[in-house]
Structure 1
């Protein structure tokens, strides 16, 4: 029984340590999307899960926000609607009826915030579903290692610089066994 406790505790401690270390690097969907290599790795992952359209939509919305003229905004809004929002569109994203309806009404005079609600919903969906699965993949781990090297951080030194919360979780498994 002691061997089981040691192995189980060791795995949990290692996973918690990895989570702590990557969180020091700014481990988030935002970090991944802010770097070209992160976007590419995440896109490949989304493609393997058949939901690449979510990232394409989110990026299209980011581009839309940079439109300067009303004419350009109208053209890009119509394009985004046809590609991602319209029922049966080639890359239709998963949005509720009310959000689709609101965007459809907005197309007559699209303002800078025409897609803001939909963009946030898709981002949250990517963050809470796809991104969590992505963090368990080898491409993600390679990305995090690359980011850590760029920032001059070394994984084995981070615990020295900051108090590691994993230290508080370490328990001697032998103390968990009753001797009564």
Structure 2
């Protein structure tokens, strides 16, 4: 009974991840990288649950100076995710977010299941969403899989966070996605 319950939870978690990926893929399908018709605001996401309406101009401008600050805001992460999608590296942010979610878990069975799903989705060489990790970190993860804990992916998460910060973030700041946002808030504040 317990095993089938965990299997159902795992299936539901995968469905949620897929629906998040599908629900936010409208931008990728929009011709010419234009905002799709169903966007609710300037952050180019495809839902009204985003927090961009509560994001200040100063906060958006501060993202260019502080990657950590951007990553702490849902609107910043959404915009950065949109950019990563254009570079076919969205899995880096999805992995980082999955690790953040795992860290908050306290139920041992759920930790085991989430740890396994993260491994299958982002660490396994068979996964189409495999993130790039060095062999030392992979060895640590493989050892930790024997007794999963909420912090078992911290080294890998740090490696991916650093990769996004050093590699993707500078390109994000020069991307049409971020520049359009800055222009739109500049024209809004002038009105």
Same fold (TM over 0.5): yes
Evaluate the alpha carbon distance shift between residue 101 and residue 93 of structure 1 in structure 2; reply closer, same or farther with a 3 A threshold. Answer: same
Cα deviation for residue 120 of structure 1 reads: 0.3
Please state how far the C-alpha of 1:40 moved relative to its aligned partner. Answer: 1.8
| Counterparts in 2 of 1:143 and 1:29: CA distance versus 1, 3 Å | farther
Q: What are the ranges of 5 or more consecutive residues in structure 1 without an aligned counterpart?
A: 1-20, 149-153, 156-180
Give the 3-state SS of the residue equivalent to 1:83 in structure 2: helix
Specify which of 119, 127, 151 is matched with residue 157 of structure 2: 119
Residue in structure 2 matched with residue 33 of structure 1 by the alignment: 71
TM-score, normalised via structure 2 length: 0.60
**Structure 2: any 5+ residue segments left out of the alignment?**
1-57
Q: Give the direction of change, closer, same or farther, for the CA distance of 1:146–1:106 in structure 2 (3 Å limit).
A: farther
Q: 1:31: how far off? A: 2.1
2:119 alignment partner, SS class: helix
1:73 and 1:111 in contact (8 A); partners too: yes
Aligned to 1:133: 171
1:56 is aligned to: 94
1:145 Cα offset (Å): 7.0
Match of 2:143 among 92, 105, 109: 105
Correspondence for 1:89: 127
Partner Cα separation in structure 2 for residue 22 and residue 113 of structure 1: 30
Computing the radius of gyration over CA atoms, which structure comes out larger, 1 or 2?
Answer: 1
Q: C-alpha distance in 2, partners of 1:29/1:145?
A: 20
| Cα shift readout 1:88-143 (whole Å, capped 9, x = no counterpart) | 21210000112112101101211222000000000000000000110112332455
Across the aligned residues of Structure 1 and Structure 2, the Cα RMSD in angstroms comes to 2.7
CA deviation profile, 1:9-38 (whole Å, cap 9, x unmatched): xxxxxxxxxxxx999835322222222222
Rate the CA distance shift 1:117–1:145 in 2: closer, same or farther, 3 A: farther
Distance 1:146 1:67 in 2: 39
